[in-house]
Amino acid sequence: MSDDNILNVTNHDRDSAALRYVYPVVSRRSGGVSVGINLNTNNACNWRCIYCQVPGLIRGTAPTIDLAVLENELRVFLSELLHGDFMRNRVPQGLQRINDIALSGNGEPTSAGEFVQVIALIARMRNELALPDAVKTLLITNGSLLYRNLVQQGLRDMAKINGEVWFKLDRASEAGMKRVNDTHMSLNKVRDNLIAAIECCPTWLQTCWFALDSEPPSLQDEDDYLELVGALLRDGHQPQGVLLYSLARPSLQAEAPRLSALPLEHLQGFAERISKLGLPVKVTP
């Protein structure tokens, strides 16, 4: 097998396994293979983050999910990972383990009308194929639809299959969210959605911190963030921690030329302030 066939750790191409919903990502950070599920095959999201890396992003929701196709793809691909040649032939040594099944695609996964059925399907596959309990079920979400009962139900079901939610919180002011996520969501709604997530399933905050027109986020941006998270903690709502990162790959939005990554020391400075609240912070430059 030539090197071309080894899945590169930076290859996040959702077509790399030529399936409709399921795609593999090899992650050095997690130390294994993430089995991605992309429910937004139409590249539609209800937000438009200016750093978004989805090609041809449009506003909207996930299309109707063909659950039979998804189930078949997940069964075939997980079986291949567990019993076939994929790991040996296409994954670098040292990373040949399944780390997680991740709902993370080209848009907001919880916008799928079949979200609860998708979680049930993942649970069924995990059981049928006797996946180790240590394999996580991840949801990467902007959190905006967490007020919906069915989405909360999905998160409660996820919690039973080693679930973990990564809840996007890039800025904690309405002006900041408008600037970075291009959404008009109120801060009260963000807070309520976040509390709902934390109550349903272990939840990490996922925060992208970068420079816009060479200006890093302001001290006020940092204070807003600390105020929101501090108030949550005081009220007894405990996230697992914060995943703080900068720009990993180039944005595919019109603002791309105006964005730049921040140096590690800058992220570490903010991480130190967050840590003082008593929350673990994982920093990725």
Note the residues at the interface with ligand SF4 (CB under 6 A). 45, 47-49, 52, 54, 107-108, 142, 168
The least distance separating ligand SF4 from the CB of residue 145, rounded to whole angstroms, comes to 11
Residue 271: other Cβ atoms inside 10 A: 19
Nearer to ligand SF4, 137 or 142 (CB): 142
Query: Shortest CA distance to 74 belongs to which of 48, 37, 47, 99?
Result: 37
Which residues lie closer than 8 Å to 52 by C-beta, 6 or more apart?
A: 45, 251, 252, 253
Nearer to ligand SF4, 42 or 96 (CB): 42
Residue type, 182: D
The least distance separating ligand SF4 from the CB of residue 142, rounded to whole angstroms, comes to 4
Nearer to ligand SF4, 137 or 141 (CB): 141
Query: Shortest CA distance to 69 belongs to which of 20, 18, 137, 15?
Result: 20
Helices H, strands E: what count in the chain?
A: 8, 12
The least distance separating ligand SF4 from the CB of residue 131, rounded to whole angstroms, comes to 26
Handedness of CA 149, 150, 152, 156 (dihedral sign): positive
Nearer to ligand SF4, 20 or 75 (CB): 20
The least distance separating ligand SF4 from the CB of residue 47, rounded to whole angstroms, comes to 4
Q: Which residue has the tokens 């609240």?
A: 277
Q: For residue 58, which phi and psi values (nearest 5 degrees)?
A: -125, 160
Nearer to ligand SF4, 60 or 241 (CB): 60
The least distance separating ligand SF4 from the CB of residue 173, rounded to whole angstroms, comes to 17
